[in-house]
Amino acid sequence: MSPHPALDPWLDRVAQMAQAAIELRPQTPSDMIGDVDRIASATDLLADRMLALVGPDRAELRPSRVRHDLRTPLNHVLGYGEMLREDLAGTLAEPQVARLLQLARQVLEGIDDLVETVLSGGTRTPPPPAVRDLQPPALTRDQRAGRILVVDDNEANNDLLRRHLERLGHRVTQADDGEFALELLASAPTGRGSDRPFDLVLLDIVMPGMDGIEVLRAIKRDERWRDLPVLMISSLDELGAVARCIELGAADYLTKPFEPVLLRARVSACLEARRLRDQEVDYLTRIEQERQRAADLLRVILPDPIVDELERTNEVKPRRHDRVAVLFCDIVGFTRYCDAREPEEVLPHLQRLVVAWEQAAMANGLLKIKTIGDGFMAASGLLHRVENPVERCVRCAEELVREVRALAMHDGEEGWSVRIGVHVGPVVAGVLGHRQFQFDLWGDTVNTAARVEQHGTPDAITLSMPAWEELAQLGAVGTPLGAVHAKGKGALELVRFERF
């Protein structure tokens, strides 16, 4: 008899558990004897801790700590017992394992009443709960195996979790304290999907040194691991701490002693949630990549300030710009050149020429407006005010002429030449279309620049009188060409640029 009558029925059940382990040993294959011995050691520890309830230090015992200390060896009995029941299914030893598990669950269900009665000094013997055989369904390997970090300072708990998880097909890494767990995370390479070192953390709440709550807080503070799901492991009387963990970002919790079925269900749910989260991140990443690709393509078609306005307001309002220099460039005799050659021969030459013109425009601060066949249009002083827009156009035009000559010599295309016209004045700029955007300029300045180019001379830069007057102030030298009759404009005074 124990010093307290309330202990007697529970000590009797623990003794029956120990006897069941002794009788089970001869029926167990040699490679499983270690699990039987662990069960026997756990029952001895459970009996010692029950007797400590009526020992000389009972006044210093805290109920929550006592419940934790009693459940820990029970967790080991149930954990190793469940693995033995699975391994010994269909053998003569299976009923003995089932009986041992029934006794362990009886004790587990009565722990709260036992602790309350004994520590309060009462003599009431709690009624033994009904014996139930919680036969779990057969566990199969999870279809989606994960990489799981198990953090528990108790060696047996760590071993049980590892073995259960490995039976389900997961890869397990173990840490016996919080500091080591954080070291493992810090030293592991970061990645996504199959490159990620861990998919889930199983984290005990009560540990010496850094407890589970501190570890969880550190994980959620680190942006590398903030999205890593954490499954907390707790005793039944730690639900307040569990609630704090959920508030800190834990995905779920598992109480000790844990049922293998619940372990699998909650681990699988966490891994599935992580997989879905990864899919969502990948989907959003692809959307952002496509959006960025579309934005980059749009910036090839439209100037950056126009794209910025379009992204902000979903529209671009037409605007008037004063003192803009407009340049037109056209290849002389290009139609005859094309008629004498196949398109496959013409296009590479034209492509090299247009690329060279675009580079010349950028180098001189001009904005390319468009390319129309063999024609090229650019402007200076449009989106950003410049001091001498006409000068920029003329210096760009000099490069355009040089590029045509260089390309003709390189490809043996003698006779290639260009006409270039420049005019300055106000323009209206805006975007046309909704599906195929086009940034363009309108107004009399644009029409006049086109007429200046049409009436110019090959391999020369022709300016309208307003454009020449600005350029002449910089000391440029030019040759007056007199007045020409331009369609829709009447008389138009032109000057051919010679040099600066």
- Taking each helix axis from N to C end, the angle separating 155-167 and 63-87, rounded to the nearest 10 degrees, works out to 40
Contact (CB, 8 A) for 334 and 374 = yes
Q: What pLDDT was estimated at residue 363?
A: 92
Does residue 343 sit in helix, strand or coil?
Answer: helix
CA distance 288 to 148: 30
**pLDDT at site 412:** 58
Q: CA neighbours within 13 Å on the CB side: how many for 132?
A: 8
| Average pLDDT of the residues in 238-258 | 86
- Report the chain's terminal Cα–Cα distance, integer Å: 118
Name the band, by pLDDT with cuts 50, 70 and 90, for residue 130.
Answer: very low
Spatial separation of the C-alpha atoms in residues 168 and 152, rounded to whole Å: 19
- Of 330-334, 356-360, 364-368, 386-390, which range is least confident? 330-334
Domains annotated for the chain, with CATH where assigned, are 5-119 (1.20.1440), 147-280 (3.40.50.2300), 314-499 (3.30.70.1230)
pLDDT digits (tens, 9 = 90+) for 415-452: 578 899 999 999 999 888 777 778 899 999 999 999 99
Q: Tell me the per-residue pLDDT of 9-24, one tens digit each, with 9 for 90 and over.
A: 888 888 888 888 888 8
- Which pLDDT band holds residue 192 (cuts at 50, 70, 90)? low
Q: In one letter, which amino acid is 155?
A: E
pLDDT for res 466: 95
**Alpha carbon distance 7, 48 (integer Å):** 12
Rounded to an integer, the average pLDDT of 200-206 is 93
Calpha distance 442→406 (Å, rounded): 33
Question: Who contacts 309 (Cβ-Cβ below 8 Å, separation ≥6)?
Answer: 315, 316, 317
User: How many residues are recorded in the chain?
Assistant: 500
Tell me what pLDDT residue 332 has.
Answer: 85
| DSSP code, position 371 | E
pLDDT band at 133 (very low <50, low <70, confident <90, very high): very low
Cis peptide bond N-terminal to 257, omega within 30: yes
Q: Is 424 helix (H, G, I), strand (E, B) or coil?
A: strand
> Number of H helices and number of E strands within the chain?
15, 13
Cα–Cα distance between 151 and 212 in angstroms, integer? 9
As a 3-state breakdown, the chain gives helix, strand, coil percent values, each rounded to 5, of 55, 20, 25
The lowest-confidence range among 73-87, 141-155, 186-200 is 186-200
pLDDT band at 191 (very low <50, low <70, confident <90, very high): low
Q: What is the pLDDT of residues 446-490, one digit of tens each?
A: 999 999 999 998 889 999 999 999 999 999 999 999 999 888 778
Percent of the chain at pLDDT exceeding 90: 35
Quote the pLDDT of residue 270.
92
pLDDT band at 47 (very low <50, low <70, confident <90, very high): confident
Mean pLDDT value across residues 283-308: 85
Tell whether the model's pLDDT for residue 378 goes beyond 50.
yes
- Name the pTM for this structure: 0.57
Q: Residue 396 and residue 398: Cα distance in Å, rounded? A: 5
pLDDT of residue 465: 95
Which residues have a Cβ under 8 Å from the Cβ of 321 and sit 6 or more positions away?
381, 382, 383, 426, 427, 428, 429
Name the band, by pLDDT with cuts 50, 70 and 90, for residue 328: very high
Confidence of residue 414 (pLDDT cuts 50, 70, 90): low
pLDDT band at 119 (very low <50, low <70, confident <90, very high): confident
| Among candidate residues 35, 40, 38, the one with its CA nearest the CA of residue 84 | 35
Neighbours of 486 (CB within 10 A): 18
Which pLDDT score, from 0 to 100, does residue 248 have?
Answer: 92
Report CA 295 to chain centroid distance, whole Å. 20
